[in-house]
Chain A
Amino acid sequence: TQLLEQSPQFLSIQEGENLTVYCNSSSVFSSLQWYRQEPGEGPVLLVTVVTGGEVKKLKRLTFQFGDARKDSSLHITAAQPGDTGLYLCAGPVNSNTGNQFYFGTGTSLTVIP
């Protein structure tokens, strides 16, 4: 069972276009994280959202946490080739044996110059 479903799985757009990536779940999360990963490197944390309905902006990237804390979206305005990479959402599932993190299926973004 995949707790976090991302869509789309692949996205190829022209430089300057806008795009939105979705991360959906049937479970409630205390927070959700977004990561970007470039080929051959580890994922890099972009943002954490913790409050239902929260919106955070990171330059041209806008992250939103759903009101019910079951979903999140990442919107990129005027995409640049440097935005190319694999975008992953993740959510912690606390347990009495320590934190586990569930990762989404990933969205591979290619921005064509």
Chain B
Amino acid sequence: SQTIHQWPATLVQPVGSPLSLECTVEGTSNPNLYWYRQAAGRGLQLLFYSVGIGQISSEVPQNLSASRPQDRQFILSSKKLLLSDSGFYLCAWSVEFLPYNEQFFGPGTRLTVL
């Protein structure tokens, strides 16, 4: 069975500090990987997605970046955090299995920027 891990679960960082959130998937090969951000009680905003190693598509201009150094590893980074970067960050994976294109989510990381 497939599992997805995210860490850390919670993070409190000062403004201007760097960020690195990690996501790994087990039990599947060549998944599509995604980073979302979610404001409290709201829908999901797609930040980045990747269809393969080194292939990153950015959906929203921001001071965040993503990398995929390995097939099942997806990293979200920032060189200098802003207050507006606070939120709940979710990693997800999917495989193309038409028509059942489904996404599966990790447990999330709660980021608070002070």
Q: Interface on A for B, CB 8 Å cutoff? A: 30-31, 33, 35, 40-45, 48, 50, 86, 88, 90, 92, 94, 97-101, 103-106, 108
Query: With contacts defined as CB atoms under 8 Å apart, how many contacts are there between chain A and chain B in the complex?
Result: 68
Q: Is the CB–CB distance between B49 and A106 below 8 Å?
A: no
Q: How far is the CA of A97 from the CA of B101 in the complex (A)?
A: 14
Interface residues of B (CB under 8 A from A): 32, 34, 41-44, 46, 49-51, 57, 88, 90, 92, 94, 96, 98-108, 110
19 example contacts (A-B, Cβ-Cβ < 8 A) are as follows A31-B101, A35-B105, A40-B108, A40-B110, A41-B108, A42-B90, A42-B92, A42-B106, A43-B90, A48-B100, A88-B44, A90-B103, A92-B94, A92-B101, A101-B46, A101-B94, A103-B43, A103-B44, A105-B42
